[in-house]
Amino acid sequence: MAETSISGFLPPSLGLLKKLQTIAIYIALLSGQIPPELGDCTELQDIYLYENSLTGSIPKTFGQLRNLKNLLLWQNNLVGIIPPELGNCNQMLVIDISMNSLTGSIPQSFGNLTELQEFQLSLNQVSGEIPAQLGKCQKLTHIELDNNQISGSIPPEIGNLSNLTLFYLWQNRLEGNIPPSISNCQNLEAMDLSQNGLVGPIPKGVFQLKKLNKLLLLSNNLSGEIPPEIGNCSSLIRFRANNNKVAGTIPPQIGNLKNLNFLDLGSNRIAGNIPEGISGTLSASLGSLGSLKKLILSKNKLSGSIPNQLGSCSKLQLLDLSGNQLSGNIPSSIGKISSLEIALNLSLNQLNGEIPSEFTGLTKLAILDFSYNHLSGDLQHLAALPNLVVLNVSHNNFSGHVPDTPFFSKLPLSVFTGNPALCFFDNQCDDDDKRVKRMTAARVAMVVLLCTACALLLAALYIILGSKKHCRGAHECDSDDDLEMSPPWEVTLYQKLDLSIADVARSLTAGNVIGQGRSGVVYRVAIPSGLMVAVKRFNLAEKISAASFSSEIATLATIRHQNIVRLLGWGANLRTNLLFYDYMANGTLGALLHEGDGAGLVEWETRFKIALGVAEGLAYLHHVFRRFCTEM
């Protein structure tokens, strides 16, 4: 009965099936409690009840099932403690009770489960300490205790688990050091201890683990230096230790990691130069980082120049060296990394010189940030980057014309500020002497204009006050609309769209309204490419700054689910905020369910599927998306 639409409760009469060996009703619609009578089925070996809506606690009577090997109850609504009686099931191979609401602590009796291979407890509310007795379960290969409230230190007895391949403790309340005994887990392939309160150095022995391919230690209080032994960790693919207190320099031995594709040491206290070995040169002593895809060294104290050899990282997709003390020119070799597509961030450094002409080759790049440096020259080499979505060149010494392209025309002025010699579009970059000659005439003209403006202002005020008497209803008066849509605009697009505020403004009319609520109105907007998008325009009463608005909706841009409408971007000025969404052609859900005529009523089966789809979307927001945000 697996993967069916079976619903209802598990009957207590199941306990009469004394010869029952397997119960498999998973990915279904079961509800209610698990009957304690199942403990009478002493021949039971497998209980597969995962992905249902079961409530209540895990029955203590399961401790009577001495033949039980697999207990899979993940993704239900179970509460209460983990029964210590489960420690009597000495044939147990797999326990997966993740994604519930279990509380209490991990029973010490689990140390009796000497055959246990996998223990998965992620996404619960379990507290207390990790029992040292788990070190007796020497056949364990997987321990997943992440996303709980577990405290205390990591017991050194974990080092007894020589078969351990996966060790996840991220997002708990752990303290103390990483035990050096973990270096005894010679089969360890993935370890994630992120988002805890761990202190002290990273044990050198961890980098002696030949099979370790994922080491995630971000957001702790780790200190010390990265040991040169890191060069021995030949299988390492992902190493993230950002947001700690790691100091010292980056050891050149890191260049030996041929399989490394994600290196993140941002927000630490690392100083010194970027070693040439990190570039992936073919030097026998430094090896190659030809597999590197993401390199994040932001917010450290790195100095010196960016090594030209970095251009040898031919698979690099993301490079973030922001917030350091790097100087010198931008190497032209970076412009030859055609795989750069996510982001290139060199902001908040001391770089100088011009943008290399080779940057015209970064045709896949989406985000480029040069802000707060000492760069000069013009921006023409950036004009032909077809996939650029975000650009910031503020607070440099750039000069010349801003490229007259559709992309540049939609950028807010804030991304160009701090470059006084930049000229915008039709402006001619006048020499200083020409501006001086015009100054006197301009002052005379200004006096005349001010006098004229005062007269016009009084006349306009009279007209406006008179016209307001005739404005009735939300769509009869356009004066507020004109002011509401006036520049300057801050626009951020998360997808490549041929969209401008002018296109949007023309379509925000009563005839294009497709929905209306307390917070604002939703319009159907056609853009020049022929695509239709939905634009939500917030009411004037909903006052929020562009910066705050950007912060609040930034997370929405990362949501990807078939039952949740995709956010395409946003726009904001001093008076209003706009959200850009995928356009759904069949109207609103409310209209579909409640406004149809007799012939168009939605059948119950369709209504049920709609409700199920809404539930799946909500489950994603509450569980899967939260896990995605914290999975590094």
Indicate the annotated binding residues.
536
- 152 — phi, psi (to 5°)? 80, -165
- 126 — phi, psi (to 5°)? -75, 140
d(C-alpha 491, C-alpha 503), whole Å: 13
d(C-alpha 333, C-alpha 343), whole Å: 16
Asked if 189 and 167 touch (Cβ cutoff 8 Å), the reply is no
| Nearest alpha carbon to residue 539 among 519, 523, 514 | 519
Please report, as a single letter, which amino acid is at residue 100: N
3-state DSSP percent of the chain in helix, strand and coil, to 5? 30, 20, 50
CA–CA distance from 162 to each of 182, 233, 389 (Å)?
9, 18, 48
d(C-alpha 510, C-alpha 383), whole Å: 37
Distance of CA 128 to the CA centre of its chain: 29
Cis peptide bond N-terminal to 487, omega within 30: no
**Secondary structure (3-state) at 197:** coil
- DSSP code of 81? B
Q: What are the structure tokens assigned to 250, written together? A: 């980056």
Beta bridge partners of 142: 118, 166
Rg (CA), the chain: 31
The residue behind tokens 């961890």 is 206
Rounding to the nearest 10 degrees, give the CA dihedral for residues 100, 102, 106, 112: -70
Q: Which residues are annotated as a binding site for ATP?
A: 536
Q: Which long-range contacts (CB under 8 A, 24 or more apart) does 537-542 make?
A: 537/508, 537/576, 537/577, 537/578, 538/576, 538/577, 538/578, 538/579, 540/480, 540/484, 540/575, 540/576, 542/577
β-pairing, 301-305 vs 421-424, is unpaired
Asked if 537 and 520 touch (Cβ cutoff 8 Å), the reply is yes
Q: What are the structure tokens assigned to 227, written together? A: 């040991």
* Burial readout 140-154 (b: 16 or more C-beta within 10 A, e: otherwise): bbbbbbbbbebbeeb
Beta bridge partners of 578: 537, 571
Task: For the beta carbon of residue 489, count every other beta carbon within 10 angstroms.
Answer: 22
CA–CA distance from 231 to each of 23, 205, 217, 266 (Å)?
49, 12, 18, 19
d(C-alpha 508, C-alpha 522), whole Å: 9
Please report, as a single letter, which amino acid is at residue 80: G
Q: What are the structure tokens assigned to 234, written together? A: 């030949």
- DSSP code of 129? B
Distance of CA 426 to the CA centre of its chain: 39
Contact residues for 579 (Cβ-Cβ < 8 A; gap 6+) = 535, 536, 538, 553, 567, 569, 570
| Nearest alpha carbon to residue 294 among 263, 252, 254 | 263
